[in-house]
Each structure stands twice: as C-alpha cells, then as structure tokens.
C-alpha cells in the first residue's frame, strides 16, 4: 500500500489523545483505586514514564527509516520472513484490541442506554460507522477527530469546575501510606492503556512533517496524563474509599454532579465522549489491520479488506468475553502483560537490533 494520504502534526497528536483517553478515563479511577486506594492519581506517573520512552523509541525508529511503516522496516531489521511473522503478530494484537474495544462498547451501551436491545447491535453500528471512515482513509479519520477532540475538551472544563465544589481533600490522605507497591500494582493496567501511544510509530509515515512526530506525541501524552490525573483526584476526593468499587467511576462522578447541582442528565456527556473515543479507536484499529495484511501479503488496495475485517472484528467481539467478570480479569491482569510486550518490548528490541547491526556494519 503506497502512502498517499497525509495528516498534520496536530491531527496526529489529537488522534493519539482520542485513541487512548475516552475509553480509558471512564473506568480508570476505579481500576487504579482498587489497588492504590487514595493514591490512585499517583499510579498514572509510572505509565507516563513508560509512555515517554515508548514515544522516543518509536520516533527514533521512524527517523532511521523515513517513509517506511514499522512492518516495512521490521523486515529490514530482522529479515523478510521474521518481518512477515512480526506483521502477523501485530495483526493479532490490533485484532485483539479492536475486538475487546467493540465488546466493551457493546456492554457499556447495553448496560446504560439500551438494556433491552441485543448487545451486538451496539457493536455493529459503531463498526459500520468506523468502516466508512476507514474506507475514506486515515486523512479523513484525522479530520473527523479534530471536531471530536474539540468537543471533548469543551465539555471537560465545565465538568471539572462543577465537580470541584464537592471535593474533600482529606480523602487523599495519607499519601503513600502503604508504600509504593500498591501504586505500582495500580499502575499496570493504566500503563498498558497509556502506552497505546505506540500508535505514533504506525502513523509517522503518513505525517506531512516527520520532525513534528515526537512533539505531537509528547503533547498528546501530556494531555492524556493531565486529564486522567485530574479525574482520579476529583473522583477520590468525592467518593473516597468506595472509588475502588466503582466500575465506571467517571460516569458515577458525572452522575453525582447532576444530583448535587442544578444540571440534570449530565451522563449524556459521558456517553458522547465514550462513543467518540470508541469510533476513533475502532476506525484506527481497522485501518491498521488492513495495513498489516497489505504489507504481509503484498495487497495493493487496503480498501478491499475493510468489509471482511469489519465482519471479523464483530465476530471476535461476540466471542471475546461472555461475562463482565471475564472482561475485568482480562483488563486488569492479562492485557497489561500482553500490551507491554507488544507496545514496549518489541519496538525496543527492534531498535536495539538495528543499533547493533549499524554499529557492526560501521566497524567492517
């Protein structure tokens, strides 16, 4: 697949933000507080540190192989057949991520909005919408996301302002009362999701000005970390010890604001943020699935793959988890290991092998 579509540095940064933030922020405080308690907000920073190293590694690889995707320079680094195996490995990762995202979206919509509707309906509608965007191309996805990102920013500021009036700072005490181990435990599921910024390495070939990639990635990471820290702080300061028992803690926070204040049904804003994020995540994942197959099998037009991949993703989502408990087990324990291996260790290994090969060739 020839790179003909292009996105700007701003579009790249906003894509990273929307890809990671909306689906993470709603359950994040509850997941981290279950381990770290009142120090849930501190659990964001180990993930942020991993995110910084991730962006540095992915942009370094992109600069070493300008204009090439990670699949193309992967073949140059480890050889043709290992490179194709790497492409299939990444295909499985993106397929797992999109299937889990669709499954979670279907469950969320079925629980709060359409309880009498079969859960698969929510998945089919979001996949159909995302598939249309993928067919239009990554440039169109980037342009759509600008509007969605602005919408998210516009609603977050007043929500945070409304939440501040009912906070209790004493709920944050004591800081690090049980040491750093609970914070590290709480940071693992969060780190796995924050490190989805490794998406930057896949989108650099589509960037108009490659030198802006690192700056865009760092700004996106700063935005993600800043907003999640704020949400964690507000949630803990309002709900205190029960934060760790809340499945969708950000939704509970917004519902609390609606009950206490003059505004009602504010949770509609959360649903808008959620749907926006899932749309972007599913669209980008479908695009990357098509990209993997075009590079591995030499297919020229990725658009012919969009429909079958969309159908495959829906099937994967239906089979992914039968119960909410299975999903929570995967999200808390399985996915962090799988994600850190794929998002952090594999790119770091590619960079290390490339550095050794270049050093060896310079000595010969």
The domain that contains 124 carries what CATH number? 1.20.1740.10
Q: What is the pLDDT of residue 96?
A: 95
Instruction: Tell me: pLDDT of 364 over 80.
Output: no
Task: Please report whether residue 4 resides in a domain.
Answer: no
| Count: domains in the chain | 1
Split at pLDDT 50, 70, 90, the class of 44 is very high
Q: How much of the chain exceeds pLDDT 70, in percent?
A: 97
Mean predicted confidence (pLDDT) in 126-146 = 96
Task: Please report whether residue 71 resides in a domain.
Answer: yes
Q: What is the pLDDT of residue 295?
A: 92
- State the chain's mean pLDDT as an integer: 91
Q: What is the pLDDT of residue 62?
A: 94
Long-range CB pairs of 317-320, under 8 A, 24+ apart, other chains included: 317/98, 317/99, 317/100, 317/102, 317/103, 317/106, 317/120, 317/123, 318/103, 318/120, 318/123, 319/99, 320/99, 320/100, 320/103
Task: Please report whether residue 354 resides in a domain.
Answer: no
Task: Please report whether residue 101 resides in a domain.
Answer: yes
Q: What is the pLDDT of residue 325?
A: 85
Q: What is the pLDDT of residue 58?
A: 97
Task: Please report whether residue 349 resides in a domain.
Answer: no
- pLDDT tens sequence across 7-34: 999 999 999 999 999 888 888 889 899 9
Higher-confidence position of 158 and 315: 315
Mean predicted confidence (pLDDT) in 93-118 = 92
Instruction: Report the range of poorest mean pLDDT among 103-117, 162-176, 233-247, 258-272.
Output: 258-272
Instruction: Tell me: pLDDT of 260 over 60.
Output: no
3-state secondary structure the chain: CCCCCCECHHHHHHHHHHHHHHHHHCCHHHHHHHHHHHHHHHHHHHHHHHHHHHHHHHHHHHHHCCCCCHHHHHHHHHCHHHHHHHHHHHHHHHHHHHHHHHHHHHHHHHHHCCCCCCHHHHHHHHHHHHHHHHHHCHHHHHHHHHHHHHHHHHHHHHHHHHHHCCCCHHHHCCCCCCCCHHHHHHHHHHHHHHHHHHHHHHHHHHECCHHHHHHHHHHHHHHHHHHHHHHHHHHHHHHHHHHHHCCCHHHHHHHHHHHHCCCCCCHHHHHHHHHHHHHHHHHHHHHHHHHHHHHHHCCCCHHHHHHHHHHHHHHHHHHHCCCHHHHHHHHHHHHHHHHHHHHHHHHHHHHHHHHHHHHHHHHC
Facing residues of 207 across strands? 7
Q: What is the pLDDT of residue 268?
A: 83
Please answer whether residues 207 and 6 qualify as being in contact, where contact means their C-beta atoms are separated by less than 8 angstroms.
yes
Task: Please report whether residue 24 resides in a domain.
Answer: yes
Please answer whether residues 146 and 8 qualify as being in contact, where contact means their C-beta atoms are separated by less than 8 angstroms.
no
Mean predicted confidence (pLDDT) in 46-70 = 95
Mean predicted confidence (pLDDT) in 296-313 = 95
Q: What is the pLDDT of residue 10?
A: 95
Split at pLDDT 50, 70, 90, the class of 263 is low
Q: What is the pLDDT of residue 351?
A: 97
Instruction: Tell me: pLDDT of 76 over 60.
Output: yes
Q: What is the pLDDT of residue 1?
A: 52
Q: What is the pLDDT of residue 23?
A: 83
Task: Please report whether residue 352 resides in a domain.
Answer: no
Q: What is the pLDDT of residue 133?
A: 96
Mean predicted confidence (pLDDT) in 316-345 = 90
Q: From CA 105, how far away is CA 275, in angstroms rounded? A: 8
Instruction: Tell me: pLDDT of 284 over 80.
Output: yes
Instruction: Tell me: pLDDT of 258 over 70.
Output: no
Instruction: Tell me: pLDDT of 262 over 80.
Output: no
Q: From CA 248, how far away is CA 328, in angstroms rounded? A: 12
* Residue-range definition of the domain harbouring residue 195: 9-342
Please answer whether residues 12 and 284 qualify as being in contact, where contact means their C-beta atoms are separated by less than 8 angstroms.
no
Task: Please report whether residue 108 resides in a domain.
Answer: yes
Instruction: Tell me: pLDDT of 2 over 60.
Output: no
Q: From CA 71, how far away is CA 355, in angstroms rounded? A: 17
Q: What is the pLDDT of residue 52?
A: 97
Q: What is the pLDDT of residue 261?
A: 54
Q: What is the pLDDT of residue 5?
A: 84
């Amino acid at each position: 697949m020839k790179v003909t579509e292009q996105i700007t540095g701003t579009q790249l940064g906003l894509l990273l933000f929307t890809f990671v933030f909306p689906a993470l922020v709603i359950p994040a405080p509850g997941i981290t507080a279950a381990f770290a308690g009142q120090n849930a907000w501190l659990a964001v920073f180990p993930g942020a540190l991993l995110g910084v190293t991730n962006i540095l590694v992915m942009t370094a690889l992109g600069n070493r192989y300008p204009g090439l995707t990670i699949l193309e320079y992967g073949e140059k680094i480890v050889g043709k057949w290992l490179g194709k195996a790497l492409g299939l490995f990444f295909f499985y990762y993106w397929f797992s991520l999109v299937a889990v995202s669709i499954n979670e979206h279907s469950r969320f919509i079925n629980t709060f909005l359409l309880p009498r509707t079969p859960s698969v309906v929510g998945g089919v509608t979001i996949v159909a919408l995302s598939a249309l965007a993928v067919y239009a191309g990554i440039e169109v996805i980037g342009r759509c996301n600008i509007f969605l990102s602005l919408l998210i920013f516009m609603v977050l500021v007043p929500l945070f302002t409304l939440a501040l009036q009912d906070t209790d700072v004493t709920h944050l005490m004591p800081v690090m009362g049980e040491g750093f181990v609970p914070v590290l435990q709480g940071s693992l599921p969060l780190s796995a999701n924050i490190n989805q910024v490794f998406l930057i390495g896949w989108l650099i070939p589509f960037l108009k000005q490659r030198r802006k990639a690192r700056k865009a990635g760092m700004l996106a990471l700063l935005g993600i970390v800043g907003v999640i820290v704020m949400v964690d702080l507000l949630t803990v300061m309002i709900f205190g010890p029960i934060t760790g028992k809340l499945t969708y803690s950000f939704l509970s926070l917004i519902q609390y604001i609606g009950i206490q204040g003059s505004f009602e049904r504010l949770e509609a804003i959360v649903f808008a943020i959620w749907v926006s994020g899932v749309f972007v995540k599913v669209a980008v994942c479908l695009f990357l699935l098509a990209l993997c197959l075009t590079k591995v099998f030499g297919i020229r037009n990725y658009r012919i793959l969009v429909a079958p991949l969309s159908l495959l993703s829906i099937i994967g989502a239906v089979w992914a988890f039968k119960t909410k408990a299975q999903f929570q087990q995967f999200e808390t324990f399985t996915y962090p290991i799988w994600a850190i291996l794929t998002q952090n260790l594999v790119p770091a290994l590619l960079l290390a092998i490339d550095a050794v090969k270049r050093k060896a060739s310079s000595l010969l």
